[in-house]
Chains A and B, each alone.
Chain A
Amino acid sequence: MRNFSLGKAFVPVVATIVLIYLLLPIFYVIVFSFNDAGRNNITWRGFTLDNWQNPCGAPNVCQAFGNSILVGVVATIVATVLGSLIAIALVRYRFKFRSTISLLLFTPMATPEVVLGAGLAAQFLLAGVEKGIGTIILAHTMFCISYVVVAVKARVASLDPSIEEAGRDLYASPGQVFWRITLPMLMPGIVGAALLSFALSFDDFIITNFNAGTANTFPKFIYTSALRGVPAQANVLASIVFLGAIVLVVIVQMVNINKRKRLARQ
């Protein structure tokens, strides 16, 4: 890559354009949260802090937001627990239907959401179950399990087995090895899987739409108000989540960098 400057510039230029493509709408959303919007937040009317001071001003916004968080938390907890156990079993044990079970777990990730959503809805219909927050949680847990298994599986596979052997060598029973050694070492991977699961659940629309009935989640709220005009408060709430997540990620990165610097100094 030393000869043409065109060749050298190609990658950074295209990459920057793509990054702008990626981030432009985000800026738009955040900027328009400050819009002195009327009923629809489509044209820029003027800068105002009203929306930020009163984020629950528009009807149903905060309720939908709250539901999304509730669903996210419950689905994450259940999916993380079930998924982690499956991941450990898949990596560490040899049993008859291993590949079939792997297939069962990974197919949801290869299935379009319409199909998953429609299938679940059809089943709830047949079972006579009324659609609502409960069915949303059930649906979200299902697809989150697949992602948790993939994330934790990678972590389990990279554990140094000699550390658990050391535990057994040092008089720990298999149960003690699991609770005191294996699980703590897996924690970072499990936490990562949980965060992924929450993010997927929070932003999910298609599967939710099929299985929500009259219940509202944040994405569903946005979809249904899209024609009339999404209130600026939705932008505010979304921006809060975004900034919160960015801050969290930056903090984690800084902590890691600091840790690395400290280790390097010793």
Chain B
Amino acid sequence: MAITAFAPGGGAVEQAPRKRPWTALILLAPGIAYMLLFFLAPFIQLIITSLQAPAASGGIGEYVAAFQLSNYADAIVEYWPHILRSFAYALIATVVGLLISYPLAYLIGVKLRALPMLQGLALILVVAPFFISFLLRTLAWKQILPSEWIGTHFSVVFGLIYNFIPFMTLPIFSSLQQLDMRLVEAGADLYASPTTTFFKVTLPLSMPGVVSGTLLSFIPMSGDYVNASREFLGGTDTAMVGNVIEANFLQTQNYPIAATLSIVLMAIILVIVATYVRRSGTEDLL
């Protein structure tokens, strides 16, 4: 219970869950039914689609139920550069995003504690981008940045970083806001320099926020296709997995390939996230 000794209030109140399962069932039924129908079923449908084979008629978008596992091999062989590129972009963008968002979160959550008006204003500024279409903002960068830079790996990553700063900043801010400054003072009292105190006290205590923020950024980034599309910040060799899935699904109507790539993307993400979460020790994030 040593941690709770320092955790300030404003958290959950101890509640013993009651035992009547019938009320719970009534409360849950409509919502869960909805999710089963519109989330779980589509997932299963994706798997089914990923195994389909072209129909005998050979028409565009005509496929029949099958068990064509070779779809997976085909997809990976053809599109492994895109898959790799997506995760490379996402990784770089997440790391850079973390490095630049942490100071912002620290400013708001720690340094501005004494000035609640300014803190409120800064928070509004961080949240403000959510109030205006991200497509318009990304397009704005296309116009602001010099045209030689557009269509390069740099511009895509730039756009990815930009779009997810609030997703990285807010969870870290939330963690840092609860940081008990007396712990930092204790570090200083025990002969730690400011840098050491940061790495040994502040950073570890803000880990839940860091983990949340990185997950909330990395996962959507790896499936993004807006930033990498030609209309926005992408070029000829910046296509990500998302672009391929979109093109195959909505344009060439090659549903199996699109579904296969979606499943592959999802699987890789699950593996990465599971390893990451277990290593950082915050299994009960939610």
Contact = CB atoms under 8 A, between A and B. Distances in A.
Nearest to A164: B15
Interface string B27-42: 1101110111011111
B125 interface: yes
Contacts of A119: 39, 42-43, 45-46, 262
Contact of B137 (A26, A83, A85, A102): A26
A173 B255 CA distance: 54
A35 to B, nearest CB: 11
Contacts of B11: 158
Q: Is the interface of A mostly helix, strand, loop or mixed?
A: helix
A241 interface: yes
Nearest to A115: B262
Interface in A76-91: 82-83, 85-86, 88-89, 91
B138 to A, nearest CB: 8
A29 B133 CA distance: 10
A263 interface: no
A14 B126 contact: no
B162 A118 contact: no
A245 B144 CA distance: 25
A12 B112 CA distance: 10
A108 interface: yes
A247 to B, nearest CB: 10
Contacts of A235: 136
B103 A206 contact: no
A138 interface: yes
Contacts of B36: 104
Contacts of B144: 24-25, 28
A160 B220 CA distance: 36
Interface residues of A, number: 93
A241 B137 contact: no
Nearest to B65: A126
A189 B248 CA distance: 41
Interface residues of B, number: 93
Contacts of B20: 93
Nearest to A83: B31
A251 to B, nearest CB: 12
Interface stretch (B70-78, B148-156, B203-211, B222-230): B222-230
Residue from B133, B232, B258, B286 whose CB has the most chain A CB atoms within 10 Å: B133
Contact of B103 (A18, A86, A203, A234): A18
Contact of A82 (B34, B106, B111): B34
A34 interface: no
Contact of A161 (B13, B224, B258, B262): B13
B279 to A, nearest CB: 17
A122 B42 contact: yes
Given A110-B269, A115-B223, A157 B106 contact: no
A177 interface: no
Nearest to B9: A158
A239 interface: yes
B162 A21 contact: yes
B237 interface: no
A58 to B, nearest CB: 14
Residue from B10, B215, B231 whose CB has the most chain A CB atoms within 10 Å: B231
A138 B165 CA distance: 29
B18 interface: yes
B111 A112 contact: no
B27 A88 contact: yes
Nearest to A150: B286
16 contacts: A3-B194, A19-B104, A21-B100, A24-B144, A42-B143, A93-B19, A93-B21, A115-B262, A115-B266, A116-B39, A119-B39, A119-B262, A121-B249, A203-B130, A206-B224, A227-B230
Interface of A: 1-3, 7, 10-12, 14-15, 17-19, 21-26, 28-29, 32, 42, 82-83, 85-86, 88-89, 91-96, 101-102, 104-108, 110-116, 118-123, 125-126, 138-139, 141-142, 145, 149-150, 157-161, 199, 203, 205-206, 209-210, 218-219, 222-223, 226-227, 230, 234-235, 238-239, 241-242, 245-246, 249-250, 253, 257
Given A14-B104, A94-B17, 5 more contacts: A23-B125, A112-B269, A122-B255, A123-B42, A242-B128
